[in-house]
Amino acid sequence: MITQEDLAATFFDVLHEVAKTMSGLTIKLIPQGEPDASGDICSVMMLDGCVNGVFSLSGSPQTFRMLCSGMIGASPKEVKEEDVADTLCELVNMTAGGVKLRLSETDFQFALAPPCMISLAELDVLTSAKERVITQVMGTDDLAVRLKVAY
């Protein structure tokens, strides 16, 4: 069985690659106690398979406006709210798909549901009943994003 540390590293590595490729931003892990990644925006994807769980990215509107800006090639001021939602869902979709591909030769198999946007209060309800929860904060020097996997 894949360890929790390996799973966390896989999610981070894939998210790092996706963010770099799609937005040009290089993200890194942020030590605990550094800038908080809490915010109003959260995209979630349900995972169904050997374990049932949820993968999410959350952060501030400003953080995802910057990521969206890089991904769609517009200035942050030109980015619309619906662009941010679409971009965040696509970031979750591409990351989870990349993780699924990387883990295809392991016993950690899962199917993906379409990503959706929810409030952080709803995310806390979804993840509170799960046995194992991975939470990592990552970002650039100016941005912070919280990655959460609960299963």
Domain annotation for the chain: domains and CATH numbers: 4-150 (3.40.1550.10)
Task: Tell me which of 18-32, 66-80, 128-142 is least confident.
Answer: 128-142
Share of the chain above pLDDT 70, in %: 87
pLDDT at 121: 59
Confidence of residue 23 (pLDDT cuts 50, 70, 90): confident
Q: How large is the average pLDDT for residues 55-60?
A: 84
Residue 122 amino acid letter: E
In terms of C-beta density within 10 A (0-12 exposed, 13-18 middle, 19 or more buried), how is residue 69 classed?
buried
Q: Taking 60 as the threshold, does the pLDDT of residue 125 lie above it?
A: no
Compute φ and ψ for 117, nearest 5 degrees.
-95, 135
pTM metric for this prediction: 0.78
> What whole-number distance in Å separates Cα of residue 44 and Cα of residue 115?
5
Distances (CA, A) of 136 to 49, 109, 119, 146: 23, 22, 18, 6
